[in-house]
């Protein structure tokens, strides 16, 4: 989750380390891993795109992650369970490698370590400090065919899609610090689908209570607008508290456009099992918005 300003003069302030490994990361990375696993079922190479990549990996003992310790009710709450879900098992196995050194894998690290040698990965990050960390962290993984770009994510997606061969997926994961970012997502997805109709697209979004002011309901409106694009899509959500006025971010979700076959079942089962360990108020749901014809 990096930052994106589209030359609007916004301060590049967001750094995901404060939230690394939280409930939002759990649903986002479970879903993204499910997409990658599906692409790997065929031998033909694919390309992955991460529009707001962030730092790649995160030190859970660092000052930023330690400030709110959001990982305690996220990845730490489920890291020692023995899951029955194949997708949850795969996710926890990937995280275990990083957790052994007190770190958490962001989506760039998950993509880099899960893709095959012949597959491509493009990581976009505009925040100067995050970009430097991303370059260093990806270099340490020693994975081939990974490009790290210091550029606006949506501009990068316009320039780099569609891939050849025409297989792959896009993760769009902005910080939503500004209200305009919700509209940016819709425009960004529209631009991708105009040139790459088969793109599998995962959009993460926060669920915000009334305390968020003008952002309250913005995610729901964005999901509605993305649904009108007419592509097969479902949304999956985790809620960790009730939607009361002062709850803040009470949960988050992913909207998946052109989802791979059976991802809905795999993700639904994984989330249902995960939330059992993420607090007494934690719940999950998955709803199809446009059925696949």
- Tokens in use for 20? 């690394």
Which residues are catalytically annotated? 173
Among the listed residues 147, 158, 152, 155, the one whose alpha carbon sits nearest the alpha carbon of residue 119 = 147
Among the listed residues 85, 91, 89, the one whose alpha carbon sits nearest the alpha carbon of residue 26 = 91
- Per DSSP, 204 falls in state E
* Three-state secondary structure of 198-262: CCEEEEEEEEECHHHHHHCCHHHHHHHHHHCCCCCEEEEEEECCCCCCCCCEEEEEEEEECCCCC
Is there a contact between 28 and 175 (Cβ–Cβ < 8 Å)? Answer: no
Is there a contact between 202 and 110 (Cβ–Cβ < 8 Å)? Answer: no
Helix axes 86-99, 23-39, angle to 10 degrees: 110
Q: Which residues are within 8 A (CB) of 215 and not within 5 positions of it... i.e. 6 or more apart? A: 176, 179, 208
């Amino acid at each position: 989750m990096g930052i994106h300003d589209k030359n609007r003069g916004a301060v590049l302030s967001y750094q995901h380390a404060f939230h690394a490994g939280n409930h939002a990361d759990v649903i986002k990375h479970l879903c993204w891993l499910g997409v990658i696993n599906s692409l790997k079922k065929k031998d033909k190479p694919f390309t992955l795109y991460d529009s707001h990549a962030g730092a790649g990996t995160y030190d859970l003992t660092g000052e930023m992650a330690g400030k709110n310790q959001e990982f305690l009710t996220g990845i730490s709450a489920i890291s020692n369970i023995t899951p029955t879900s194949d997708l949850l098992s795969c996710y926890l196995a990937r995280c275990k490698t990083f957790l052994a050194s007190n770190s958490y894998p962001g989506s760039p690290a998950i993509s880099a370590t899960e893709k095959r040698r012949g597959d491509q990965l493009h990581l976009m990050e505009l925040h100067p400090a995050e970009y430097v960390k991303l370059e260093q962290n990806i270099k340490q993984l020693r994975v081939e065919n990974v490009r790290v770009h210091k550029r606006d994510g949506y501009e990068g997606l316009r320039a780099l899609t569609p891939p050849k061969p025409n297989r792959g997926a896009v993760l769009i994961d902005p910080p939503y610090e500004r209200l305009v970012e919700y509209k940016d997502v819709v425009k960004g997805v529209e631009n991708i689908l105009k040139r790459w109709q088969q793109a599998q697209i995962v959009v993460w979004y926060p669920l915000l209570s009334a305390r968020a002011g003008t952002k309250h309901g913005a995610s729901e409106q964005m999901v509605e607008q993305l649904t009108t694009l007419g592509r097969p899509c479902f949304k999956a959500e985790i809620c960790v508290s009730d939607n009361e006025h002062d709850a803040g971010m009470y949960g988050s979700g992913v909207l998946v456009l052109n989802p791979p076959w059976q991802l809905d079942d795999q993700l639904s089962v994984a989330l249902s099992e995960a939330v059992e360990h993420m607090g007494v108020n934690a719940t999950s749901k998955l709803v199809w918005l446009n059925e696949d014809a």
